[in-house]
Chains A and B, each alone.
Chain A
Amino acid sequence: MTQPVGSQLSAEALKARKRRSLITALALAGFVVLIFAITVAKLGENASEVSKARGFEEALEAQRHKDEVVIIEEMPAEASDEAPSGETDGAAQ
């Protein structure tokens, strides 16, 4: 049968407790730093995805604009080809 003597710890026991407390504190600090690093890495990944998406949208917008210009440029020629001769004449007058 043993009885713990809580308040009468030996110097060695106190030293061991202090060491364990220090290691626990360091581990906790390390965990906080790790969570911060994960957050930063995730934000970095998200930012990269957003910029990729933005780049894609800009490229899409540019392509759309280009297509519209081409359509506008082609429209009069197509209109003159397809339009009946009388209308063309009328427009000319």
Chain B
Amino acid sequence: MNDTAIASIDASGDAHEARCASFADYVSLMKPRVMMLVVFTAFAGLVAAPVDMNLVMAGSAILSVALASGAAGALNMWYDHDIDAIMQRTATRPVPSGLIPREEALGLGLVVSAISVTLMALAANPLAAGLLAFSIFFYAMVYTQWLKRSTAQNIVIGGAAGAFPPLIGWVAATGEMSINAWLMFAIIFFWTPPHFWALSLWTSKEYAKAGVPMLPVTAGAKATRLQILLYSILLAPLGVLPAVTGLGGVGYGVVSAALGVWFLYGAVRVFASQAGDESAQGEADMKHAKRLFGASIIYLFALFAVLAIEHGLGLYRATGINLLSGGMS
């Protein structure tokens, strides 16, 4: 553990005023806000699965997903310490700010990864544990170390890492993958680009400074706004699809359709704006991108909340259409 931050003196002999790393700093190393969304979608996947799971096992499976998310976050901060220090948004993170040494972030990430995968294997099944291990590997190695710094499609392909949790939740409960589980994966996969690109429209200068090839940096704001719209056009109907595969009920169908229209409206407004452009109008229009970013979080949270409520509280009412069982019922 790091005590050097406060107990250090510089070459001139003056003591640093930096504070000592607290437990909260180690928690922030594990990206708790990302963890919450990850845990929530994994929980929804577990609850929506057609198999009831023992409460102790279910709680342990969710805990292992939370730990895996935290481990992946720590590994990300270990590797990205250089670019995090350049960007204002990430400069205060525990590693670039010097509160936690890099090697501790790496150690924490590796140890917690091993604990989370072992816990999942014990509480659920080897398939869920394997998927969990793969999702950590995908985020920490494929996305963080390779895609993020090499291609503008980084968050498109890397988005798969964030799409795994509901699939893992489902597999933890059932022991197998199904079309409905992959459908939840697909929703998050197609949600990730408009979510991140809306954010990157107003942080593109920071990304450019750090040399990260985000889409607004490489292709410009206009191309990014178009991509946001295209992915939103794909996402809106995809979000409703669970209502016709038997995964979501009537309530889900209504809510997802309304949210899809709302999200699409936000994407159209961003597309029609000049958000991200160098002009003064571009700065003024940035509010549309910020609104879409906020809306995207509410959209995903609400979709999975309705799924969890329908299945968890017994409020599921079939829509009467089930494409997986061959039509109307």
Contacts and interface: CB of A to CB of B under 8 A. Distances in A.
Interface stretch (B14-22, B68-76, B282-290): B14-22
Interface residues of B, number: 25
B8 interface: yes
Interface stretch (B32-40, B80-88, B115-123, B319-327): B115-123
Interface in B1-46: 1, 3-4, 6-11, 16, 19-23, 26
Interface residues of A, number: 25
Contacts of B16: 2
Interface stretch (A10-18, A50-58, A70-78, A84-92): A10-18
A2 B122 contact: no
B119 A34 contact: yes
Nearest to B119: A34
B302 interface: no
B60 A13 contact: no
A23 B22 CA distance: 11
A35 B23 contact: no
Given A37-B56, A38-B123, A4 B7 contact: yes
Interface of A: 1-6, 8-10, 12-13, 16-17, 19-21, 23, 31, 34-35, 37-38, 40-41, 45
18 contacts: A1-B10, A3-B9, A4-B3, A5-B7, A6-B3, A9-B3, A10-B7, A12-B6, A13-B20, A16-B3, A16-B6, A17-B20, A19-B23, A20-B1, A20-B22, A20-B23, A38-B60, A41-B54
